[in-house]
Amino acid sequence: MSGSTPHQRRREESMKRSNDIFDNLIVVRGAGDLATAIIIRLHNSGFKVIALDIEKPTVIRRTVSFAQAMFDGQSTVEGVTAKLTGIADIEDALDRDFIPVVVDPEGRIIEKLKPTVVVDAIIAKKNLGTTKALAPFTVALGPGFVAGEDVDCVIETTRGHRLARLIYEGPAAPNTGIPGNIGGYTIERVMHSPCAGVFKACHRIGDIVEQGEVIA
């Protein structure tokens, strides 16, 4: 323990208090960038966490999202590794200190796992089926949910002074459809394909590009 971090020591102490691998289990719906941040914080605090997502998720900030495990088999962010896991192998993955990422877009496995907490971090801007009946405590990120009705707690995701505020009654700020202002730019920060088809990138994530440059 001499070389362990405070996070690791807290996790070890928490694990010693639990006799069942599924005690205090938390299920997070979604494995994108915001979901990944939540998962890492919970994991480092000693909780067992499982992520559920669709088979081919679309992700913002793909290199720091556990959803990438859906394509590569595993994804490591800040020293925490998530692995694409079948339902039968969830317990083994948790026992080996991995974050199981399971293909389950409708959250059907939640009833079987009986988690203590369910977090909806899909960021769909609407409720895709998360209710207070899923777990003793339920949390949802962003618009589309009403705290006290759909879930127990809603977390504000809109940029500004209300960002990350915990809401126990009522909804988060509505979706404006306009990206947050960064450096004076909003809608200019997001590019949309002019047509349907297969996306073939000319650059890698993190490359420096100039305005008007072809990126795909």
| Residue that is written with structure tokens 């289990």 in the block | 25
What is the CATH T-level fold of the domain 6-180, as seen in this structure? Rossmann fold (3.40.50)
Q: Answer with the residue of higher pLDDT: 137 or 182.
A: 137
At position 74, the amino acid (one-letter code) is Q
pLDDT at 17 over 50: no
For 133-143, write each residue's pLDDT tens digit.
999 999 999 99
In eight-state DSSP terms, residue 143 is T
Q: Which residue has the tokens 């991995």?
A: 98
Instruction: State the average pLDDT over residues 192-211.
Output: 86
Cβ atoms of 139 and 119 within 8 Å: the answer is yes
Contact 120, 129 (CB under 8 A): no
Using a pLDDT cut of 90, give the percent of the chain over it.
66
Mean pLDDT for 60-78 is 96
Helix (H, G, I), strand (E, B) or coil at 33: helix
19 vs 28, residue with greater confidence: 28
CA dihedral 27, 29, 33, 34 (to 10 degrees): -80
Identify which of 122, 119, 83, 123 has the alpha carbon closest to the alpha carbon of residue 101: 83
Residue indicated by tokens 């083994």: 92
Boundaries of every domain in the chain: 6-180
